[in-house]
Structure formats: C-alpha cells, structure tokens
Amino acid sequence: MKAWKGDDPIQKQTLSYPMRTSEAHTNVRRLQRKRLKQNVPLILMFIPVIAFFVAFRYIPILGNVIAFKQYNLMQGIWGSPWAGLDNFKIIFSNPQTLQIVKNTFLLSFFGIVIGFPFPILVAVMLNEVRRMWWKKTVQTLLYLPHFFSWVIIGGIVVTLFGSQAGVVNALLEQWTGAKYPFLYQAGSWLTIFFGSNVWKEAGFGAIIYLAAMSSIDPHLYEAASMDGASKLRQIWHVTLPGIVPTATIMLILAMGRVMDVGFDPIYNLQNAVVSDVSNVISTYIYTIGIQNGLYSLTTSMGLFESVIGLILVVGANRIARKFNQSLW
C-alpha cells in the first residue's frame, strides 16, 4: 500500500517527469530570450547588410525576365511582349558568341589556376617572418594594389609595357635595338593580364589565410620541431593542412566566378588587336546591351553566365563534400 502513497521511487520519477519537462522548456525559452536581448545590437548592425542584399542582390533577380521578352524602354519590363527562348537562340546561333563564351571560360579558369596559389604562398611567407616591423612593411606594400582601381592599374601597365613610351621597351631598345609589342601580341597580353591580376589581389587575399593560420595550435609546431622537422616540413605537414578548410571554401566560391572575368580589368587592358582573346561576356554585355540598346540579348547572356556559375558552385561543393570540406 505504501507504493500507492507515492513512496515508490519509480512512481515518483514517472509522476514528476512532465513537471521537469515543462521546467526544461521554460528554462530554454528564458535562455533564448536572454540571448536575443544580448544580441540586439548585433542584429541592428546587421539590418543594413540585409537591406543591401535584398535591394541590390535579390530584387534585381526579377529583372532576368527580360531575357524572355522583347524588351523596350517605353513599355517597361512587364509591358514588353514575351519572346520565349528566341533571345537564347539568337545569341547561340552567332559564332562570335561561342568565341566570347570560350574566352570568358578560359581567361577565368586559368586566372583561378594561376592566381589561387599566390595568396596562400604570400600568407605562408608572411607567417614565417619574425621581425614585426619588416612584416608590417611587406604587408602594407602587398595589400596596397588591392585598393587601386583598374584605371590606375591599366595606366601602370601602359606606362611599363607601352610600345611607344613604355619603360620596358625603352630598356629593350637600349639593350637590343628593337621594341616588342607586349600589349599587341596575344601571348604577352595574356601574361600581363594574369600577372596584373595576381599583383593586385594576391596580397589582400592572403589576409584570409593569415587569419586561418593564426588559429593553428602552436603546440603542433613545437611537436614537429621536437621530432626533427625542418621549417619546410612544418609548413607542409602543419601549416598547409591547417588551412585546407579555408582554401576549400575559397576555391568553391571562386568556382562561382568562372564565367565572370570582370569588366574592369578586361576593358582597361584590351585593344582591338587582341580582341580575339580578350572579348568576354562582360564586354559583350557592355557593347551590345548598353551601347546598342539590345537589353534582351545581353540579359540572356548574363542569365546563362549565372546559371553556369551556379552549376559549377554546386558541383565543386559536392566534390568537396566527399572529403568532408563542403561549404554546405
């Protein structure tokens, strides 16, 4: 009979379980409200960022409907007649368009292949510098080109490699008696294009990898040193594996820009002589869309570029997922 009066421990636990569950939910809600109050300043700071992306990234996506219309300014986006897939048929039936897509893909792909390792290399070298005054000086010099506009970069390139008054050609003329048209030969133009991109962005891109290296446990270096590992071995077996997750994320994000070389570097460095290798989607959109007013055709090309970028990002992420390094 005592068990029915609540003396049984098992019965007490069973009877008190709903009460403890309710108390746990109450504590969880109280903790969530407390965290929300603590993060109110951060949420308020994040609101402008959300507003920016909504206004300038997501709402403009609706404008892609122009790719399926015969758009004109007088009738507007929604008043223009539908064209279906006619715009895509027009642009892909043009042999020049296929060459432009090929140029865009090759320039961007080789830009990633050539430019991706340099920020890692710069970060590794800066991470090994022990004299802070020298490290800060080198960092400043390497970061500085990132803040130059491509108009300035283009002016520097012309000043160095111009056929008439270029510094390099002036030296070549003194040494060999002849000049070389660096900016008017496809091979040398591509070299200058990739080199200027690396020079401009490698230093700034190294910041992310330096931040990743700062999170590596110093005891790993000490253990490797005690095992007799040289500095190169420590970099190979400790530093590089420590930044693999960050490098994977950066590579996945870079894959989304494979079809986006960028308008500024191409426009400021190209010329009519090397147009066979320098005409890309961004310059095509500027020439055909803005200068000639064929907005539907260029929107179709831009939508095609975005779809290819999305496919490449998803594909790269799936490959990285097999190595447990995916972005999502």
193 contacts: CB under 8 Å, gap ≥ 6: 107, 265, 266, 269, 278
C-alpha angle 40/45/46, rounded to 5°?
Answer: 95
What is residue 20's predicted lDDT score, i.e. its pLDDT? 60
Determine which of 187-196, 205-214, 287-296 has the lowest per-residue pLDDT on average: 287-296
User: Residue 241 pLDDT > 80, yes or no?
Assistant: yes
Model confidence at 3, pLDDT cuts 50, 70, 90, reads very low
> Do the beta carbons of residue 115 and residue 230 sit within 8 Å?
no
Q: What's the rounded mean pLDDT across residues 205-213?
A: 91
Average pLDDT value for the chain: 85
> Do the beta carbons of residue 146 and residue 201 sit within 8 Å?
yes
Determine which of 45-59, 290-304, 311-325 has the lowest per-residue pLDDT on average: 311-325
What is residue 10's predicted lDDT score, i.e. its pLDDT? 45
Determine which of 16-30, 61-75, 268-282 has the lowest per-residue pLDDT on average: 16-30
Q: What's the rounded mean pLDDT across residues 299-307?
A: 87
Determine which of 22-36, 90-104, 118-132, 259-273 has the lowest per-residue pLDDT on average: 22-36
What is residue 8's predicted lDDT score, i.e. its pLDDT? 52
Q: What's the rounded mean pLDDT across residues 107-136?
A: 89
Q: Whose CA is closest to 101, among 115, 91, 110?
A: 91
